[in-house]
């Protein structure tokens, strides 16, 4: 990407989008276009078409999505499927109509079959059944990948897709009704600490294994791929390392400084047993994460403390 190119970051106030904007500015990209959801409803096809026709961005990072944890994914199944389908279809089609040079679509590791071999290789897509609790979201993200592939094969559009592992970092969602596991743990342990609670309840058995990538590392990887990768197949982005939920909980407990005990509610679902990404393709291109989990958690907890009034709603 040329330093003066006009770059549209869809979803710039979310965790991934804000990290992209921070990193783009840090390395000298100044012509960044963004709209809040109140300024541009990405579910509105006409509004998105008008925006692209007016702004004519050169490059697009499609980081806008309706996201949530296992509870939200399972309850709001229609919204997670419909809204994500509409957002990505509107942006990808308008990018095509307005001659965008290159688009990067952000998916999710939940696209992989529930019982796929570990670690998850890119070629395992559509090789088995999805995890039922987040199937609508996964199907929407798979559709986004296939849209990018279809516009590439039919029109020659340079659209690439990136599949990140579980993410965390500044501007995460800490609402306990809709958050992912890591921000939920940070908030639960923090509130238990300040309220002198003796225990914290955590869903499931603690046995599932999860991989975590800091959003700043993902942003760096996305910009690296935008500048260095033009292939049809999507690319996994992760650390290639995972921990059990129990190990994660103990680590977050330590970082937050909670002194009580953990109570596991085994009546609640565990979700997919393991989701470790095979990142050999990305490593082979020359990119590797730089923020290790404890360091990233310490940074993220400090960000939570500084923004607690905003996050803890």
- Find out whether 313 is annotated in a ligand binding site: no
- Find out whether 300 is annotated in a ligand binding site: no
- Find out whether 270 is annotated in a ligand binding site: yes
- Find out whether 166 is annotated in a ligand binding site: yes
- Sign (positive or negative) of CA dihedral 23, 28, 33, 35: positive
Dihedral, 92, 95, 101, 106 alpha carbons, nearest 10: -30
- Find out whether 12 is annotated in a ligand binding site: yes
Among left, alpha and beta (phi > 0; psi -120 to 50; other), residue 99 is left
- Find out whether 132 is annotated in a ligand binding site: no
Spatial distance between the Cα atoms of 303 and 82, rounded to a whole number of angstroms = 32
The three-state secondary structure class of 10 is strand
Catalytic residue among 8, 29, 59, 137: 137
- Find out whether 93 is annotated in a ligand binding site: no
Does residue 137 have an active-site annotation? yes
Spatial distance between the Cα atoms of 278 and 125, rounded to a whole number of angstroms = 13
CB of 189 closer than 8 Å to CB of 181: no
- Find out whether 141 is annotated in a ligand binding site: yes
- Find out whether 126 is annotated in a ligand binding site: no
- Find out whether 164 is annotated in a ligand binding site: yes
The three-state secondary structure class of 41 is coil
Burial class (CB in 10 A: 0-12, 13-18, 19+), 284: exposed
DSSP state of 120: B
- Find out whether 30 is annotated in a ligand binding site: no
- Find out whether 210 is annotated in a ligand binding site: yes
- Find out whether 167 is annotated in a ligand binding site: yes
CB of 105 closer than 8 Å to CB of 162: yes
- Find out whether 14 is annotated in a ligand binding site: yes
CA atoms within 13 A on the CB side of 74: 13
As annotated, the binding site for substrate includes 188, 203, 210, 270
As annotated, the binding site for NADP(+) includes 11-17, 106-109, 141, 164-167, 180
- Catalytic amino acids? 137
């Amino acid at each position: 990407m040329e330093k003066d190119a006009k770059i549209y970051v869809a979803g710039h106030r979310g965790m991934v989008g804000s990290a992209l904007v921070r990193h783009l500015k840090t390395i000298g990209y100044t012509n960044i276009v963004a709209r809040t959801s109140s300024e541009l409803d990405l579910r509105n096809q006409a509004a998105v078409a008008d925006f692209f026709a007016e702004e004519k961005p050169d490059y697009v990072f499609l980081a806008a999505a309706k996201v949530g944890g296992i509870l939200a994914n399972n309850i709001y199944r229609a919204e997670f499927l419909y809204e994500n389908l509409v957002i990505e279809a509107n942006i990808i089609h308008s990018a095509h109509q307005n001659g965008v040079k290159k688009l990067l679509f952000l998916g999710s590791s939940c696209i992989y079959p529930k019982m796929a071999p570990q670690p998850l290789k890119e070629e395992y897509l559509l090789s088995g059944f999805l995890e039922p609790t987040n199937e609508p979201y996964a199907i929407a993200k798979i559709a986004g990948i296939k849209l990018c592939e279809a516009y590439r094969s039919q029109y020659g559009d340079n659209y690439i897709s990136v599949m990140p592992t579980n993410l965390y970092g500044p501007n995460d969602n800490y609402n306990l009704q809709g958050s992912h596991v890591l921000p939920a743990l940070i908030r639960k342990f923090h509130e238990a600490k300040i309220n002198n609670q003796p225990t914290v309840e955590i869903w499931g058995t603690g046995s599932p294994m999860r991989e975590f990538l800091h959003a700043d590392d993902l942003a760096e990887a996305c910009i690296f791929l935008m500048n260095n990768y033009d292939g049809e197949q999507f690319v996994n982005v992760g650390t290639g390392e995972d921990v059990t939920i129990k190990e994660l909980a103990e680590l977050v407990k330590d970082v937050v400084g909670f002194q009580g005990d953990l109570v596991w509610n085994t009546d609640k679902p565990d979700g997919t047993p393991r989701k470790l990404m095979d990142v050999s393709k990305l490593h082979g291109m020359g990119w590797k994460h730089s923020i290790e989990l404890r360091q990233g958690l310490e940074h993220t907890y400090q960000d939570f403390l500084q923004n607690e009034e905003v996050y803890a709603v």
